[in-house]
Structure 1
Amino acid sequence: MTDDGPRTDVPAVCSVLADETRWRILSELGRSDQSASALAARLPVSRQAIAKHIAVLAEAGLVESVRAGRELRYRAVGAQMTALADALDAIGRSWDRRLDAIKRIAEQPD
């Protein structure tokens, strides 16, 4: 079986998203493309700090920049988020199967 979808380093991405500010930035960018200045106006963080957080998010493949005239705007990378969600969903399905197996064993008559 081949999987041609995007691949993600789940532990590294989770580590990046463990920072509350980066999580909030990504949440904002999931709603709409925004500049670092716009993000700084919405979040209790300086524009310089926003730029550093965006660089970390971009390195993890979660954010990309888009030029809009003279303004540099950022957006969430949907494919990377989907790959992360798929990886986490696979873990959840695996746990569900294990719990179902335990339930069947526990409910068997002696």
Structure 2
Amino acid sequence: MSAIQTKHDVFQAIADPTRRKMLKLLADNEMPIASITNKFPISRTAVNKHLKVLSDAGLVSSQKVGRETRYKLQPKPLAEIKDWLSYFEQYWDEKLFALKEFVESDQDE
């Protein structure tokens, strides 16, 4: 399997709730793995595996600073999710409009 095939896509990366929480945590500031691990009830090894998936999807970057590795959010790949979701907004708008019409017509009677 080539390296490209083993990379995770953005959708797969955010599918896990722990990884979504990690992204929120890293949205505000860069953090070392020790600080990230302290925020979760899982082992450092598990945190590292989650960060690897996020890194492979391009959602986080890492940088060695002395003896620690610091992680930072890279939000650009999230645009792919935003674009995908925006396509479906039209369906939500239609459903909400239909609901509004239904509720308002029920009030007229």
3-state SS in 2 of match to 1:78: coil
Summarize the alignment of residues 90-105 of structure 1 with structure 2, pairs less than 5 Å apart.
Answer: 90-92=87-89, 94-96=90-92, 99=95
In the alignment, structure 1 residue 18 sits paired with structure 2 residue 2:
no
Distance 2:49 2:58 in 1: 14
Partner of 1:62: 59
Partner of 2:102: none
Indicate how the Cα distance of structure 1 residues 40 and 100 shifts in structure 2: closer, same or farther if over 3 A, else same. Answer: closer
How many residue pairs were aligned? 93
Partner of 2:105: none
3-state SS in 2 of match to 1:79: coil
Identity of aligned residues (%): 30
Q: Gapped runs of 5+ residues in structure 2?
A: 1-8, 100-109
Give the TM-score taking structure 2 as reference length: 0.68
Where does structure 1 differ by over 6 angstroms across 4 or more consecutive aligned residues? 100-103
Q: Deviations for 1:45-76, whole angstroms, at most 9, x for unmatched residues? A: 11111101111111111111123333211111
Deviation at 1:96, TM superposition (A): 4.7
Give the TM-score taking structure 1 as reference length: 0.67
Q: Gapped runs of 5+ residues in structure 1?
A: 1-11, 104-110
Which 10-residue stretch deviates more, 66-75 or 23-32?
A: 66-75
